[in-house]
Structure 1
Amino acid sequence: MKEQDHDRLLRIKTEGIREWQHQSAHYNRYEATPYMALEVLFDEYEYKSTDTFVDFGCGKGRFSFYIHHHLRVSTLGVEMSGQLYQQSMENLTKYMERAKDSRASIRFERMFAEGYDINPLDNRFYFFNPFSIQIFQKVINNILLSVENNPRSVDVILYYPTSDYIQYLEEDTTFELLKEVRIPELYEQNSNERFMIFRYE
């Protein structure tokens, strides 16, 4: 299914790339995860109905809508851009007009990722290179502090992972690599077209 067709199915608009008007050393451009990649990921990644996914730098919300519609699990998108947050909320209004009844929740919050207070129910964290390694470290530290206060298994899912993110998780945290999921149609041309899933037990 093409990107436009999948957006149409969910009654949302998430296509396109958005560069920041004023370039930032800490925040990267907006680009949604390809639907093809999400399909491959969730063919191989095990999840439970009780999981809660958090997408840091969610943009217009594609990951959250996909999760809620196809997996029926709760999801939260965190976005610092006012314009992208507004677009995610407009998408949410349209999406909910036809969304099937579900115990799973879907919501969005506008804030800086490092300012998000990790909920004890949050246990799956998604990153598509939204920001610098310095901010990533702060967010991971927030996750680990939450786990210390409320012990549980948590996963960090990286798409198109940067060497900085991988090195930090492997060398400076207790997360361990659980699985690598490659996107067959894209990986041959670009070895970054993959997911890396790290787990803290």
Structure 2
Amino acid sequence: MTKIDYDELLHIDTSEKQEGFVQSIHYHRYEATPYEALTVLFENYQMKSTDHVVDFGCGKGRLAFYISAFIGASVVGVEMNERLYEDALRNKAAFLQEKKSDRGEVFFVKSLAEKYEINPLENRFYFFNPFTIQIFMKVVNRILDSMEAFPREVEFVLYYVSQDYLYYLENHPSFTLKQEIPIPNLYDTNQNERFLIYQVDVG
């Protein structure tokens, strides 16, 4: 199915890119993860309905609705942009019109990522290159602090990983690359079109 087909199926509208100026030089423009890429991800990566996911820079909520509908896991979308946050809430209202008992809960929080308070249940964290390495490091430290206080199995799912992120994770003692999932034929042979799954260990 195309992205429009998925949007129609889920009763949402996530196809438009962010226009105009970004509110912070540390935050990148919103662009939703392609549905084609999400299909490949969840054909190759196991996520359970008992998982609790955080999507940093969630935009209009595409990932959250996809996971809720097809995986059944709960998702929190964190978004700093007021207009995108409001779009996500409108999408949520439309999404919930079709009530299905096997869907995971979806929440949206308007917040800077580095100020979002990590919930002890949250164990899967998604990043589509939403902000600079400086913000990423602050978010990572919040997650690691949460893991020290509430030990649990945690994984990062990263799409279109920047070199700054990659260097940081590869040289950080708490991260181990668990899985690489390339996206074949999506945009020719762009090597950035891939998911990297990192296992996190604070022990």
- TM-score band, normalised by the shorter chain? over 0.9
**Unmatched 5+ residue regions in structure 1?**
none
**Unmatched 5+ residue regions in structure 2?**
none
- Which has the larger displacement, 11-20 or 69-78? 11-20
CA distance in 2, matches of 1:171, 1:20: 35
- Which has the larger displacement, 68-77 or 169-178? 169-178
- Which has the larger displacement, 16-25 or 120-129? 16-25
Matches within 5 A, 1:49-128: 49-102=49-102, 104-128=104-128
CA distance in 2, matches of 1:24, 1:122: 26
Q: Is residue 44–residue 181 contact of structure 2 (8 Å, CA) maintained in 1?
A: yes
- Which has the larger displacement, 39-48 or 80-89? 39-48
Q: Which has the higher helix share?
A: 1
Q: Tell me which residue corresponds to 1:164.
A: 164
Q: Does 1:26 align with 2:26?
A: yes
- Which has the larger displacement, 21-30 or 140-149? 21-30
Task: Tell me the amino acid that sits aligned with residue 154 of structure 1.
Answer: V
Q: Is residue 158–residue 196 contact of structure 1 (8 Å, CA) maintained in 2?
A: yes
CA distance in 2, matches of 1:141, 1:19: 31
CA distance in 1, matches of 2:166, 2:187: 18
Secondary structure of the residue that 2:53 maps to in structure 1?
Answer: strand
Q: Tell me which residue corresponds to 2:10.
A: 10
Task: Tell me the amino acid that sits aligned with residue 105 of structure 2.
Answer: S
Report the CA distance shift for 1:22/1:38 in structure 2 as closer, same or farther (over 3 A).
Answer: closer
- Which has the larger displacement, 184-193 or 156-165? 184-193
Secondary structure of the residue that 1:30 maps to in structure 2?
Answer: coil
Q: Is residue 69–residue 99 contact of structure 1 (8 Å, CA) maintained in 2?
A: no
- Which has the larger displacement, 160-169 or 178-187? 178-187
CA distance in 2, matches of 1:126, 1:14: 17
CA distance in 2, matches of 1:29, 1:7: 20
- Which has the larger displacement, 82-91 or 22-31? 22-31
Secondary structure of the residue that 2:139 maps to in structure 1?
Answer: helix
Q: Tell me which residue corresponds to 1:35.
A: 35
Secondary structure of the residue that 1:7 maps to in structure 2?
Answer: helix
Secondary structure of the residue that 1:197 maps to in structure 2?
Answer: strand
Displacement of 1:46:
1.2
Segments of 4+ moved more than 4 angstroms: none
CA distance in 1, matches of 2:104, 2:182: 28
Query: Deviations for 1:156-196, whole angstroms, at most 9, x for unmatched residues?
Result: 11100001111111113411000000011226421110000
Q: CA RMSD in A?
A: 1.3
Matches within 5 A, 1:126-165: 126-165=126-165
Secondary structure of the residue that 2:171 maps to in structure 1?
Answer: helix
Q: Is residue 187–residue 194 contact of structure 1 (8 Å, CA) maintained in 2?
A: no
Query: Deviations for 1:80-132, whole angstroms, at most 9, x for unmatched residues?
Result: 00100000000000000013123731110100001111001000000001111
Secondary structure of the residue that 1:17 maps to in structure 2?
Answer: coil
Secondary structure of the residue that 1:85 maps to in structure 2?
Answer: helix
